[in-house]
Amino acid sequence: MPAGDAHIDFTLIDSERKARGWSFDKLAHCAGLSVTTLFHAKSGRAVSYRTLTKLAQAINASPRDLTKRGSRT
C-alpha cells in the first residue's frame, strides 16, 4: 500500500472500541495517538498511513479494513 493520506471509516473502530469497553482516550492511548488526532480522523480529515496503521494495530485489524471506499491509501 503506497504512502499517502487516507480517510478512515470509523464504523469498525467504534464497534471494536465499544466491544472492548474503551473510551476514546483509551483507544488513543492504545494506538499511541492523541485524542485530537482521533477526533480529526473521525470528523473526516485525511490521516497519514502511519496513523491508519497505528489505529488498525490497536484493534487488531488491517489498515485496508479501516479505509473508506474510494480513499487513496
Question: Tell me: the pLDDT tens digits for 14-70?
Answer: 999 999 999 999 999 999 999 999 999 999 999 999 999 999 999 999 999 998 754
pTM: 0.83
User: Rounded to an integer, what distance in angstroms lies between the CA atom of residue 55 and that of residue 32?
Assistant: 8
Domains of the chain: 10-66 (1.10.260.40)
User: Rounded to an integer, what distance in angstroms lies between the CA atom of residue 48 and that of residue 17?
Assistant: 21
User: Rounded to an integer, what distance in angstroms lies between the CA atom of residue 57 and that of residue 32?
Assistant: 10
Is the confidence at residue 71, as pLDDT, over 80?
no
Nearest to 56 by CA among 36, 26, 30: 30
Which band of pLDDT confidence, cut at 50, 70 and 90, is reported for residue 6?
confident
Is the confidence at residue 73, as pLDDT, over 60?
no
